[in-house]
Structure 1
Amino acid sequence: MTGPGSAAPGTVLAVRGLDVAFRVGRGRRARTVRAVTDADLDLRAGRLTALVGESGCGKSVLTEALTGLLPGTASIRGSALLTPPERSDPVELLTAPESVLRDRVRGRLVGLVPQSAATHFTPTRTVGAQLRETLARLGATATVADLLDRAALPRHVAALHPHELSGGQAQRAGLAAALAGDPPVLLADEPTAGLDRPLVDHVTTLLAGLAAEGRAVLLITHDLRAARAVADDVAVMYASRLVETGPADDVFAAPWHPYTAGLLGALPDAGFTPVPGHPPELSALPDGCAFAPRCPVSGDCSGDPVPVRRGGRSVSCHPPTAPALPAAARSGAGSR
């Protein structure tokens, strides 16, 4: 799924070595917030990738970097090459000027479903009017009815104002807007936050269906149950770093990283045992492995985590101290 070299087959968006940091405060109180650290991620056509992890680990910052929505205080390194299938030339998202992101990328090549979608609609205008305006701005041929159908919304929603929508309707209206330009990449940032379980299942099933139509879909969520139900691939993030990635079935069946195992152990059907302790602040990340203070198997984790890649899977850990990691991978630490 990931790796520093060539991208996996079918990759539409290849992220390599992405670092995002913010300088906050002034003078002696200034500090650096390391929001994303050395992230490698492939988003592939026809597959839904779930980016999971506890709140505040950097998941949303990663998507903001990909869409050029970070504030001016952010420093960014790495690459994010968008290669649209049969559409246009590749675009390097991290260095593209705002004019390119505005006119070529946002809405047309990359659709974004934001958190709390209702707040992104103008409160004094109907949903239908705003969807119609979005279609016109993008020069799209679809109709408002088409968008409502794609998002599994009844037609009468077009006549409603944002405050008249239920939570589930608001999230699906945000999805409808993101689909207006028929983008090959869809980034859904916590689209199920605040929804009850039936609505969570409904929204994630919709996203899985959109991936099945050929899109590369990134579902950002802290809901591991939802991710396990619909993801083709999974990326697990902890304290700014992707600690484990790979095919979802493989990762969920046999996690390599202790944090992934801890998240799965916190699910109700696995005993509901939470990961002990709390994640560190991104402005005060420790040296070495940030998970070591919470890790049940940590040993000498003072150095940077060692990336290990095998069979389409990747883990960033200290292999000699990770018993869940296959012996072949432990012996080949750092190999590709």
Structure 2
Amino acid sequence: MDHRTLGTSGPVASALGLGAMGMSGAYGPSDRSESIATVHAALEAGITLIDTGDFYGMGHNEMLLGEALKGRRDNAVLSVKFGAQRGPNGAWFGFDGRPAAVKTALAYTLERLGVDHIDIYRPARLDPNVPIEETVGAIKDMIDAGYVRHLGLSEVGPETIRRANAVHPVVDLQIEYSLISRSMERAILPVTRELGIGITAYGVLSRGLISGHWSKGGLAAGDFRGHSPRFSAENVDHNLQLVEKLRDIAADKGISVAQLAIAWVLAQGSDIVPVIGARRRDRLTEALGALDVVLTEADLSAIEGAVPPDAARGERYQPAQMAMLDSERTGA
């Protein structure tokens, strides 16, 4: 397993991370035993970075990982997002970044995971009603107390990054980044590189859209992609045409579309760690194969010619959720 350091002050982590959200219902039903087996297979393959959120399945994901990591905690770099407010029916109410809420959320997370510390703790989104300095200050308190090792951020823009980093060093920014989600390249990536902050990139296969495996009609009940603009009837045919262009390039190299898309993200810099949302061992094995893919300058040129920036149709989320992204505000 290759390794990459998260920022100038962060931990050394595997070059690929495992995102566990899909194991808790986000993409429809999942198999608990297969999910745990996938976590175990990831650890055995040398993946150390494991990412979750306390609101994934309303705590289900943390409890699942707690079970999977029993006796294996020392092999994992645990990254946890917090702050999303949800109702019993799954409705989203916004984000809570108040210091007391930060510390309370952490207490519940430690209990559900069955661990005594979190390696990287991060607000899932910016709370517009709480200065980022206060939210980060609370995490700093928890770092000083030994309950957290490092500070991370998620989906925030350049100004917020600078303000947070002034309170305590930020080790990484978690943000969606893929061949069809490249907005962070404009103003965010230059700032993280200036400040020595790593990137943990989620959505590198755009929720399966550019994996080469998904086709229309493949959404189960409860799958949040049913509400995603990029999967909507007016956009999906265009977006799948982009996948076919990638398939041609991948075939020439003897690899899968997913491996090509992951390898492209890996090739964008040693400060970027793709987080793969595999919830089955076969998909994990495929993703791991991307580590062996070497993309030449000619390959990269062909890929970006096939799928240039802004080639996809549809936003990442519906308008209400896009409005919650500090990273997508004008000028970000």
Same fold (TM over 0.5): no
Name the larger-Rg structure.
1
Q: TM-score, normalised by structure 2?
A: 0.37
- Identify, as 1 or 2, the structure richer in strand: 1
